[in-house]
Structure 1
């Protein structure tokens, strides 16, 4: 079997497999093709791959010969044209937002595993690319905020006077939010946290954050760890509590997303107008519309002396570790679909295999995706 590791689009500095992970495939008897300079941005040169047994091939050769392909970002329409039938494709395809692309892959008889659709169960933790990458995003969001914030994060007592600590508000206590809490606290900030899931209160407090409680949240237990739609009454209460906290905050980090829908706007224009001059917002939900009324994806803007950074791809700014973690997640997933002899063995009785498979045998097979068509 031939496995192909493809170079990512411009602006994406991560790579699906680092050399040591490519070596694992080679040891299974799998032929590994890579594009030249595939890992340069992640500080892994071609020699580090070839020394582990990988072979350098052109993109055309990889696309037209591989039985299984690994990416992070989706393939382009031109790439898809070159694929052979029944190839297995593994990456992050965000099918709810890319329905036309999913249709094209189905027509091409590609078997697509979209890792962002992996059921978020205890068994899947070692394969959860969203969590491994969100962890990095939460850390980097705080570091980025500190670089734009015109004051100190920690409290300082000096002969010239006392500097008060920065006040950080984090909206969403998922993996990214929890890492942001831990990082902000290590830098000496005072941290408040809002989340619609009351169950995360204990985790927030264990990291040194203060949990903002709003009564009447909808039950999120069936949402796989994501946020869910809330009642209008709850949204009004939420709005007021967030408005009060935002007006006092120096830094806001937003992480709230709902699968298949636009990100909820939690920081309105009125809230932005009430924020302190010099405040900073890092919006990790920018790719799905953003959690502020003024977020622009992949841009840093100034609004009323508030810096708003819309960036949903912060893991790409730390490509070496992000690639290492992503590749390890994929290797763990491969144990479910590749046998000991290095051959594909797709067991759709396995809930993780079934849940992450989007297209197979010329059809869209994921029920949640089919429901959108």
Structure 2
């Protein structure tokens, strides 16, 4: 192959050229955004301009955007018990990102995992029942339900869940890290009280994210000692990263109309996989999902072998989430869906972006086909 095919956008999307330019420009700013002199005001203006762009991506107010070091910190900030009430119980869907399943400030005994169906969709009837039962226990319930799963792409019924949660007097957080920039996201339409974003999923710099609040919602800071971000997240802001986030958010919003092309590429890839391996399983294929994501398993093959083999052939994919320190581990998402362990160990994730082309899909299919044939031949000869 003449060039690599990068098909791991759910792990991180390539830095946009316009973002790189904006970040370099912001690095030249001299002042601390908390300073009142001219240089400080220039840095503050750059941060606030970016805040407006990030807010616009999800239909929020700029003053409700809290910049963080990334999606993981934003999730942790959301999971700090809400102010002004007793911290009740946390209800976390079984397919959440590890930073949510860790539970934040909710003790282990104060967490309940909400199951999902075989297609990876949260059981809202179950959620309604357990919230009704919780009503007699006291405390304000906290529910976290991701907008779109990072491994399968399965979309969740966040707006419907919000109605259930609010009727029970609870707070709803949604991790929209994977949905933003791939499908329209509107905080008001979702009905969530708290929403998480990450810059590097939309072509921004790594190490910057945001927790976005619905009007009137509040959070309890993870740290104290500074007045930054409305006293909700102390510490000098990452000006260059925030500026890059703003530009990436603006670009991502403009590109939403092109995601149909990405969905066609995904469908062509899945059709090609089935041609090579008719027994291949595509998870969550029968429900609404992200236009760029395919979670695929070929029974009898190991995901780690496929990831390494494709990498050597010039194709970058992953096995499940990329948040395990580079390790290939069995997916907790597929386990929650009831997938047999031997099938889950075969699952790979292919995630596309605007910059991918038919050529990338063909490169993947050629490499994938050669690899599957070779591995199955070797297995047959060894039997």
Asked if TM exceeds 0.5, the reply is: no
Q: TM-score, normalization: structure 2?
A: 0.28
User: TM-score with structure 1 length normalisation?
Assistant: 0.29
Q: Which structure carries more strand by proportion?
A: 1
